[in-house]
Amino acid sequence: MTPETTLPLFSLLDVEKAFPIEGGRREIKALDGIRLNLLPGQSLALVGESGSGKSTLVRVMLGLEAPTNGRVLVGSAELGSMDTAQRRGFARDVAYIYQDARGSLNPRMDVAALLAEPIRLHALRAEREIDGRVDELLAQVGLPRALRHKFATELSGGQVRRVAVARALACEPRVIVADESVAGLDVSVQAQLLNLLRDLQRTSGIAMVFVTHDLGVAAYLCEEVAVMYLGRIVEMGPTAQILQAPRHPYTRALMKAFPRFDSPLAVSLQGEIPSPANLPSGCRFRTRCDEARADCALTDPVQSLLDGRRHVACLHPLAVAA
């Protein structure tokens, strides 16, 4: 990653990711025209229903999937054509917390070994300092020192996620990317973990990309939100502005289901989410949109800058109440 702090950490320029389906006879676009900048220290939530493309977007940003179109820049370097030294720097600068935190931890390593591994890998401390650094990391994520010699199988769900956060911090990254890191936890454990992530992010200045299907979680944790629908960012901007006055009908519908929209959406959203293999003509949201007009079936609205920092992909953005 480049040393210039003014450059975005990530710039995505019209990124598209298509997957072949039906034995290669057709394709679906899991991502379609994604434009996104992540600045140093920024916290960005990717929000959307299941299947909206959140995990694919994260995998493209991490270089685990190549985009089928568009560009992914890390600082000023093209992610797909980094040399070995740049790749090593990227692996340290961008830490990833997997959706399945338990499955991502080697079951044969105890907590101390799990935390020491990235420190050694990136040569961040002398050998004699590693033990002390492990203790520091445990303290930072609120885990007792006594857990050093436990294995992931012996830990609770909340403890496992904390270990995963500590492992991310061990790299001393500039960005932490976390996919559904609090999903499936008890509400109280979830709240503790969210508090931890929020404090870490605010005090450390590490940028964060947090994937969640829960708008409440997104609002609590992140200063910026990108709302995704069927592979596209339909609204993006400062969280406070979006919550106060959503400009995209989909965002408004999600907010009616606020703070959780992982359960049935019947109250605020009509119909089912279409399959990405059979997108409606024109605007992909039109089959469920209560603002749809005739032109919405003809023109596919692209993501465009609306007011200052707000991006919206809609032909008829909602008005801001006076």
Classify residue 291 by burial, with Cβ atoms within 10 Å: 0-12, 13-18, 19+.
Answer: middle
Q: CB count, 10 Å around CB of 281?
A: 11
Closest separation in Å from C-beta 185 to Mg ion = 16
Report the alpha-carbon distance of residue 114 to residue 52 in Å, rounded. Answer: 32
Report the alpha-carbon distance of residue 116 to residue 130 in Å, rounded. Answer: 6
- 33 is a site residue for ligand ADP (CB under 6 A): no
Classify residue 5 by burial, with Cβ atoms within 10 Å: 0-12, 13-18, 19+.
Answer: exposed
# residues near Mg ion by CB under 5 A: 1
Sheet holding 10-21, edge to edge: 26-38, 10-21, 69-74, 77-78
Closest CA to 224 of 45, 84, 80: 45
Q: Looking at 35, 54, 162, 288, which residue binds ligand ADP (CB under 6 A)? A: 54
Q: Looking at 30, 206, 233, 279, which residue binds ligand ADP (CB under 6 A)? A: 30
Report the alpha-carbon distance of residue 56 to residue 67 in Å, rounded. Answer: 10
Binding partner of 96, given Mg ion, ligand ADP, ligand SF4, none, CB within 5-8 angstroms per partner class: none
Site map (CB under 6 A) of ligand ADP, residues 247-286, x = contact: -----------------------------x----------
Closer of 199 and 262 to ligand ADP (Cβ): 262
Site map (CB under 5 A) of Mg ion, residues 25-64, x = contact: ------------------------------x---------
Binding partner of 283, given ligand ADP, Mg ion, ligand SF4, none, CB within 5-8 angstroms per partner class: ligand SF4
- 212 is a site residue for ligand ADP (CB under 6 A): no
Region near ligand ADP per CB under 6 A, out of 48-56, 195-203, 232-240, 313-321: 48-56
Sites of contact with ligand SF4 (CB under 6 A): 249, 283, 285-286, 289, 291-292, 296, 301, 314-316
Closest separation in Å from C-beta 127 to ligand ADP = 40
172-185 burial code (b ≥16 CB/10 A, e <16): bbbbbbbbbbbeeb
Report the alpha-carbon distance of residue 259 to residue 254 in Å, rounded. Answer: 9
As given in the structure block, the two tokens for residue 306 are 């609306």
As given in the structure block, the two tokens for residue 91 are 């692996």
Closest CA to 30 of 45, 48, 44, 8: 48
Region near ligand ADP per CB under 6 A, out of 49-57, 84-92, 137-145, 297-305: 49-57
Binding partner of 56, given ligand SF4, ligand ADP, Mg ion, none, CB within 5-8 angstroms per partner class: ligand ADP
- 50 is a site residue for ligand ADP (CB under 6 A): yes
Binding partner of 237, given Mg ion, ligand SF4, ligand ADP, none, CB within 5-8 angstroms per partner class: none
Closer of 210 and 285 to ligand SF4 (Cβ): 285
Closer of 49 and 300 to Mg ion (Cβ): 49
- 48 is a site residue for ligand ADP (CB under 6 A): yes
Classify residue 102 by burial, with Cβ atoms within 10 Å: 0-12, 13-18, 19+.
Answer: middle
Closest separation in Å from C-beta 303 to Mg ion = 21
Cα first-last separation, the chain: 44
Helix 111-121 with 157-170: angle, nearest 10 deg? 20
Contact residues: ligand ADP, CB under 6 A: 19, 28, 30, 48, 50-56, 276
